[in-house]
Amino acid sequence: MKFFADTADVAEIRELAEAGLIDGVTTNPSLVLKANRPYSDILKEICDVTSGPVSAEVAATDLDGMLKEGRELAKIASNIVIKVPLTLDGLKACRTFRSEGTMVNVTLCFSANQALLAAKAGASFISPFIGRLDDINLDGMDLIAEIRQIYDNYPTIETEILAASIRSPNHVKEAALIGADVCTCPAAVIKSLVKHPLTDKGLEQFVSDWKKTGQTIA
């Protein structure tokens, strides 16, 4: 499974990229609001840090607006993926961008039927939002499982399942068990995956015992 960083914080992205932990990045208007910097500057810097897919979301909701903005965003770098919402106009924009050779991430997916339509529109990525379904007492992972099964039923579908709205290490594990192609996570979630109390305890013991041997290795 590939990992994308779900953030517009370039310093966070740089740290994760240097550690070899990420294969791409996703951004959205809320993350840009948090970063409080010009979107084009953020995207340029992210594309300098990673050569993997970098999702840049359109702000317009009408077809013409999405096409205009998406084409502008796509000029930033060759690894920009235009992110469009899962609406009728979003699907039309997806089809057009794909015919122009631009990758597209269809976002705000909350049902398997929506994911089917995104695949039909030629989406490079479909983003089902796990955490937001959990927030309303549904099980976001059921959606990932449904989409996985449907996409696997039709081998001509090339759309990758990008598990989004990931809130915890368990979300990551479950998405991987089901077979999501990509998980996009906040930096804190990616970093938390390395943690285990028995690793810390075991390491402490080894460090302490090694000191007692009085030996050095190099």
Residues classed as catalytic: 83
Three-class DSSP labels, 23-66: CEEECCHHHHHHHCCCHHHHHHHHHHHCCCCEEEECCCCCHHHH
DSSP state of 164: B
Q: Which x/- pattern, by CB under 6 A, does the window 18-47 give for ligand E4P?
A: --------x-x-------------------
**Alpha-carbon distance 152 to 38, whole Å?**
40
Number of residues this chain uses to bind ligand E4P (CB under 6 A)? 11
State in angstroms the smallest separation of the CB of 56 from ligand E4P. Answer: 11
State in angstroms the smallest separation of the CB of 63 from ligand E4P. Answer: 21
Q: Does 131 bind ligand E4P (CB under 6 A)?
A: yes
DSSP H helix total and E strand total for the chain: 11, 8
Strand, coil or helix: what is 124?
Answer: coil
State in angstroms the smallest separation of the CB of 6 from ligand E4P. Answer: 5
Binding footprint of ligand E4P on the chain (CB under 6 A): 6, 26, 28, 107, 127, 129, 131-132, 164-165, 184
